[in-house]
Amino acid sequence: MKGIPTIQKYMTVLPHTIGADQSLAKAEKMMAELHVRHLPVLDGGKLVGILTDRDVRLVESFKDVDPEKVTVDEAYSPEPYITEPSAPLNKVCAEMASHKFGCALVVDNHKLVGIFTWVDALKALDHLMETRLKH
């Protein structure tokens, strides 16, 4: 039987990011154009959190919010789930499911190297079913 693969095998490498000082309008536009629901947030090149499409919709639902004037640093989640590339796939998936996290940020040597989302998890499941469980 083969060993459990690491998250590195299935993560999206070098994910798109957004600066904390950027507008929500820019974040929303990026998400739409890139067809993503999660943007890691950087401040001065340092990873500080995650912005989701849900965060954007929530903040924009408040009265008198102008997405052109409100910045990402007013909407992002400052404590994202972070893991390392060598983490076992099953452990990362279990943690995400347990806490209902939409993604895991993959960090190596204090540098963002990937993102692992529910879509990546489903692709991993499909791949494992096709390669390891198919008769």
83-132 pLDDT tens trace:
999 999 999 999 999 999 999 999 999 999 999 999 999 999 999 999 87
pTM: 0.91
Q: What is the pLDDT of residue 135?
A: 60
Q: What is the pLDDT of residue 2?
A: 74
Mean pLDDT of the chain: 94
DSSP classification of residue 4: P
Domain housing 116: 7-133
Count of domains forming the chain: 1
Six token digits for residue 126: 């499909």
- Residue 2 falls inside a structural domain: no
DSSP classification of residue 7: G
Beta strand spans in 7-134 (E): 12-13, 18-19, 38-43, 46-52, 82-83, 103-108, 111-117
- Residue 98 falls inside a structural domain: yes
Q: What is the mean pLDDT of residues 65-70?
A: 93
